[in-house]
Amino acid sequence: MTDQPNLFFFHVDNLGFGELSCYSGGPFRGASTSRIDAFAESGMRLTNYCPESQCTPTRSALLTGRHAIRSGTHSVPIGAAGGWGLVTWEKTLGDLLTDGGYACAAYGK
């Protein structure tokens, strides 16, 4: 087995670009983010991420690598009793990484 890099991605609702110290925020914005900064120092920081205005399309686009409209998750399903979400045949980034030998996990809502 070849050496594979570790992948770690934070997706946080309502977090501005300048909130974290590693992006010129931190103490200047009211809180130090030293542990997150340590992650940023040891890896590659991405500086361009364009989420949707709602969480469902943003999360489905992140998980699938496809525009949310193509996965049927273009808006938040308010009051839906079921029958919504990613279709069973949709491949996620986790599926692809697992096929490539990675152990994957997603935490959160």
Q: What is the per-residue pLDDT across 17-66, written as a single tens digit (0 to 9) for each?
A: 778 888 777 777 777 888 888 888 888 777 777 777 777 888 888 888 88
* 98: pLDDT strictly greater than 80: yes
* 2: pLDDT strictly greater than 90: no
Over range 72-96, report the average pLDDT: 77
Q: Which two tokens stand for residue 38?
A: 């340590």
Neighbours of 60 (CB within 10 A): 24
By the 8 A CB rule, do 54 and 76 touch? Answer: yes
Q: Which two tokens stand for residue 59?
A: 């999360």
> How does the average pLDDT of the chain come out, rounded?
79
Over range 9-15, report the average pLDDT: 75
